[in-house]
Amino acid sequence: MSTTTPTAPADPERKAPAAKRTKVRPGDRIFSGAARGAGISLLAIMAAIAIFLVVKATDALSKNQGSFLTDQGWDPNAAKPAFGVVTLVFGTVVSATIAMLIAVPVAVGVALFITHYAPRRIAQTLGYIVDLLAAVPSVVYGLWGYIFLAPKLLGLHSWLSDYLGWIPLFDKEQAGVTARTLFTVGIVLAIMILPIIAAVTREVFLQVPRAHEEAALALGATRWEMIRMAVLPYGKPGMISASMLGLGRAVGETIAVAMVLSPSFDVSIHILDPGNNTIAANIANQFGESGEIGRGALIASGLVLFIMTLLVNGAARVVINRRKAFSGANS
Amino acid sequence: MTVLDTGDKRPGIGTDAVETGRAGLPDPRAASLTRRTLPRQVPWAIAGGGVLLTIVFKLTLDNWALAVFLGGLVFILTLSAVSWRFEDSRRARDRFATSLITTTFVLAVLPLISLLGYTIQRGADKLTPYFLSHSMRGVGARDDTGGVYHAIIGTLEQVGLAALIAVPIGLLTAIYLVEYGRGRLAKTVTFFVDVMTGLPSIVAGLFIYAFWIMMLGFEASGFAGSLALMILMLPTVVRSAEEMLKLVPNELREASLALGIPKWRTVLKVVLPTAFGGIVTGVMLSIARVIGETAPLLLLVGLTQSINTDPFSGWQSALPLYVFDQNHAGNQFAEERAWAAALTLIVIVMILNLAARLIARWKAPKAG
């Protein structure tokens, strides 16, 4: 500190030549070039993903005898290959929707409990535990869902079909003995993405300025009113992006779905019956047994999945940016 | 700063305060502080009743989830009703929210505890040194032998190679974004890092399959798997490293530059060492995230039952793949092996996570 102050007056005179010299330094040029190159390589990877999926998908699609967008069957390895993606998209959307309906409110509740209700001393530990659970591999959720949870959910299946069977969604047509259904898949996915959403939401809630919370409490608000007025509005963009992260996981989840679901290839609105399929699980199930066209067809379905996640991400980003302008969060 | 903040928030709080002001005028509120508050013990007593009821439900229905659900419901409704009767409506609403959130937490933790507990219960017996040091070579459907050694080797090599590629690229990208990035290119990179975070792992696997195996004509191998894992690691590494580099105070950079040190040396010798702990934490968390990825490996590494230490040629196995495969095999011994391998995987992930947290805590003062 003391050595820099005396030289300060000389700085303005030296600045111009120094600036020129920095431009010539080869080390700087190499280093910044490498950094920029890394950034560009990342873009190149994304571009390559899109290009390769499109190219390989069009190969298979050109041989498709059926309609890719509306056919319900999946038979790309036959002499007359015919395959359609509608069942897969339906299953993916429905299972992800069930997962989100269960997981988002519960995860927000968990995050609120840890940040605002739990005693300070155990709150930190609970936070760590949620972070750890968010890292449990999905194959373990699949194993647990298939062996432990699915049999336990049979009762819930018959209860729902008994009392809510008049809703087509909960109408159970097959007197099934297995609970390897889209409904169970939705629940497993919900349990899987819950810690992820909760972990991110918790961090967002921790960032709410104390001044906002204390101002609300000082005005006589109860704890719930304080949360509604100060915490939730501030945390909304973060909650949305956390949910989107969870949705991305649920939509793209492969192995857990492949293990739990007993698939079929008709669109069935009866989610309590075995059947339906998701894009990712279908890829995992079919890949080993597929030939050239079959794999191309799977790549085409992967492209649909890719586009779906792009849309979800893009929508989330638009929402977050719009909210950001109002709430002043993330600043 | 604080003046600005309260200025921002005033409209929201102001309107809400008016609403609540109408519901309960100052006088009743003051009175409620002295007279109409439930004794401290009452919520706890009702909670205790809820727990007792839960146990009764559990004994009669033999289903933990349902029992906790019903017990929690009774707890929420009773507490809210009592509060509504003896306190004012605002307090009742607050009690309702508190009890609801607490019950939600308990309900949410239940399946997660069950997951961990059940995995430990099923896997612990089998998780022996023998299991960790033997492969599945020559193990038949009725043999209670075999282990996970080849899968551990595969996983370590695949993830290690993925990290070897992803960390330098990710770190350099983060440096670009924080230290150099201006204008459109930096914005595009930031956007696509976000997009990449949401990339489903199976799509990354399909891409590497289309590129590495279909176009370049390589065989399935451990390295093909690491390429896919690399793509999945990259955005996490960039994100965490970026956050950590942003935490480095600008004064440090300026001090170094003022001494005439070139920018690249400033970044390498001042900025990176300062953020080192945080970056290591981020890298370990990203490794923990990809170590359990199954989907891309299913397409890319083949699947073998014997030991293959060369990730560049021949098929390999991997821990998550092993779990999936053994579960698929569908006999009793295979199922036990699947649980033991799942437990191994969880233990590895937990160790990585805890190590990352410890490093973060140990290095925290310097990073600030």
Residue range B128-165, pLDDT digits in tens: 888 888 888 877 777 788 888 999 999 999 999 999 99
Separation between Cα atoms, residue A49 and residue A312, nearest integer Å? 18
Partner residue opposite A223 with nearest CB, options B98, B211, B234? B98
B89–chain A Cβ distance below 8 A for any pair: no
In 3D, which of A228, A257, A245, A278 has the Cα closest to residue A93? A278
Q: Is B136 helix (H, G, I), strand (E, B) or coil?
A: coil
pTM for the full predicted model? 0.84
Which residues of chain B have a CB within 8 Å of the CB of A222? 90-91, 93-94
Amino acid residing at A18: A
Asked if A35's CB is within 8 angstroms of B179's CB, the reply is: yes
Asked if A212's CB is within 8 angstroms of B111's CB, the reply is: no
pLDDT of B73 above 60: yes
pLDDT of B17 above 70: no
Partner residue opposite A53 with nearest CB, options B9, B179, B206? B206
Which residues of chain A have a CB within 8 Å of the CB of B364? none
Which residues of chain A have a CB within 8 Å of the CB of B211? 48, 52
Which pLDDT does position B109 carry in this prediction? 87
Which pLDDT does position B48 carry in this prediction? 87
Amino acid residing at B132: L
B302–chain A Cβ distance below 8 A for any pair: no
Q: What confidence category does residue B20 fall into, taking pLDDT thresholds of 50, 70 and 90?
A: very low
pLDDT of B289 above 80: yes
B251–chain A Cβ distance below 8 A for any pair: no
Partner residue opposite A27 with nearest CB, options B17, B168, B262? B262
Q: Are B272 and A118 in contact (CB under 8 A)?
A: no
A113–chain B Cβ distance below 8 A for any pair: yes
B292–chain A Cβ distance below 8 A for any pair: yes
Which pLDDT does position A325 carry in this prediction? 52
Mutation for testing the A interface, residue in B101, B110, B286, B293 having most A CBs under 10 Å? B101
What is the arithmetic mean of pLDDT over B61-88? Answer: 83
Which residues of chain A have a CB within 8 Å of the CB of B215? 52
Q: What confidence category does residue B254 fall into, taking pLDDT thresholds of 50, 70 and 90?
A: very high
Which ranges constitute the DSSP H helices of chain A? 4-7, 11-24, 26-62, 86-112, 120-134, 138-144, 150-152, 154-164, 182-206, 210-218, 223-226, 232-252, 255-260, 279-286, 292-327
Separation between Cα atoms, residue A288 and residue A30, nearest integer Å? 45
Asked if A56's CB is within 8 angstroms of B119's CB, the reply is: no
Partner residue opposite B201 with nearest CB, options A56, A144, A254? A254
First CA to last CA distance, chain A: 32
Partner residue opposite B169 with nearest CB, options A41, A113, A191? A41
Per DSSP, A216 falls in state H
Lowest-confidence region among A52-61, A90-99, B16-25, B35-44: B16-25
Question: Which chain B residue is nearest to residue A232, measuring alpha carbons?
Answer: B12
Asked if B17's CB is within 8 angstroms of A106's CB, the reply is: no
Q: Is A263 helix (H, G, I), strand (E, B) or coil?
A: coil
Backbone angles phi, psi at B20, to 5 degrees: -65, -30
Which residues of chain B have a CB within 8 Å of the CB of A22? 262-263
Which residues of chain A have a CB within 8 Å of the CB of B229? none
Instruction: HSE, CB side, 13 Å, CA atoms: give it for residue A110.
Output: 31
CA triplet B8, B13, B16: central angle to 5 degrees? 150
Burial per residue of B91-122, b for 16 or more beta-carbon CB atoms within 10 angstroms, e otherwise: bbbbbbbbbbbbbbbbbbbbbbebbbebbeeb
From the first residue on, what is the mean pLDDT of each consecutive set of 10 residues in chain A (331 residues)? 40 46 72 91 93 89 83 80 86 93 94 91 86 88 91 84 80 75 92 92 89 91 91 88 87 90 82 85 87 88 91 81 54 37
CA distances from B345 to A97, A196, B157, B235 (A): 29, 18, 15, 23
Could you tell me how many CB contacts below 8 A there are between chain A and chain B?
298
Q: Tell me: the pLDDT tens digits for B128-138?
A: 888 888 888 87
A291–chain B Cβ distance below 8 A for any pair: no
Distance from CA of A83 to the nearest CA of B (A): 18
Question: Which chain A residue is nearest to residue B102, measuring alpha carbons?
Answer: A113
Asked if B345's CB is within 8 angstroms of A39's CB, the reply is: no
Which residues of chain B have a CB within 8 Å of the CB of A146? 327
What is the arithmetic mean of pLDDT over B345-363? Answer: 86
Q: Tell me: the pLDDT tens digits for B228-244?
A: 999 999 999 999 999 89
No. of helices (H) and no. of strands (E), chain B? 16, 0
pLDDT of B347 above 60: yes
Interface of B with A in 218-247 (CB under 8 A): 231, 234, 238
Distance from CA of A280 to the nearest CA of B (A): 7
Asked if B176's CB is within 8 angstroms of A137's CB, the reply is: no
Which pLDDT does position A175 carry in this prediction? 67
Asked if A106's CB is within 8 angstroms of B207's CB, the reply is: no
Which residues of chain B have a CB within 8 Å of the CB of A313? 194-195, 198
Mutation for testing the A interface, residue in B61, B88, B105 having most A CBs under 10 Å? B105
| Structure token digits, residue A302 | 């992967």
Asked if A222's CB is within 8 angstroms of B90's CB, the reply is: yes
Q: Computed from CA positions of residues B119, B125, B129, B134, in that sequence, does the dihedral angle turn out positive or negative?
A: negative
Which residues of chain B have a CB within 8 Å of the CB of A53? 203, 206-207, 210
Mean pLDDT of chain B: 83
CA distances from B160 to A31, A72, B233 (A): 25, 41, 11
Q: Are A110 and A130 in contact (CB under 8 A)?
A: yes
Asked if A147's CB is within 8 angstroms of B173's CB, the reply is: no
